[in-house]
Amino acid sequence: MKGFGGGMNMQAMMKQAQAMQEKIMKLQEEVEQQTVEVSVGGDVVRVVANGKGKIISMEISPDIIDPSDPEMLQDIIISAVNEAQEKAAAHTQEQMSKVTGGMKLPGFM
C-alpha cells in the first residue's frame, strides 16, 4: 500500500507541514511589524494599523471637531478604524496565501 499523496510517506508529509508552519510563524511576525494606513473624510481622520489589525495611531484634523455634532466625528472615526482593520486583514491574508498556496488555515487571519 502506497502512502498518502500518491506515494508521499507520512514522514515526508510531516516534514512538509512543519516547514509550512515555520514559514507561517515567520510571516506572522513580519506582518505584525508591517502597517497599513487609511485616510477618510477628505483626509480629516488618518488611522494606522499593524498587520494584526491593531490600531497603532490616529490623527484627527482639528477642522473636523465640531462640539455641536459629535456624531459626525464618531462616524468618521468608526469608518476609518473599520477600513484600517479590513485593509490589514486583507494584506495579511494576501501574504499568508503566498505561503499556503491559497489554502485557508483555521486560526490564521
90: in domain: no
Domain extent, residue 49, equals: 33-83
Dihedral of CA atoms 18, 7, 103, 28 in degrees, nearest 10, equals: 10
| C-alpha grid cell, residue 44 | 480629516
5: in domain: no
> Per residue in 20-49, pLDDT tens?
888 888 888 888 889 999 999 999 999 999
78: in domain: yes
> Which CATH number is 52's domain given?
3.30.1310.10
pTM listed for this prediction: 0.70
12: in domain: no
Confidence of residue 1 (pLDDT cuts 50, 70, 90): very low
74 in Cβ contact with 64 (< 8 Å): no
Q: How many domains does the chain divide into?
A: 1
51: in domain: yes
b/e sequence 82-107, b meaning 16+ C-beta within 10 Å: ebbbebbbebbeebbeebbeeeeeee
22: in domain: no
| CA angle, 84 then 27 then 4, to 5° | 125
25: in domain: no
7: in domain: no
Average pLDDT rounded to a whole number, residues 12-16: 86
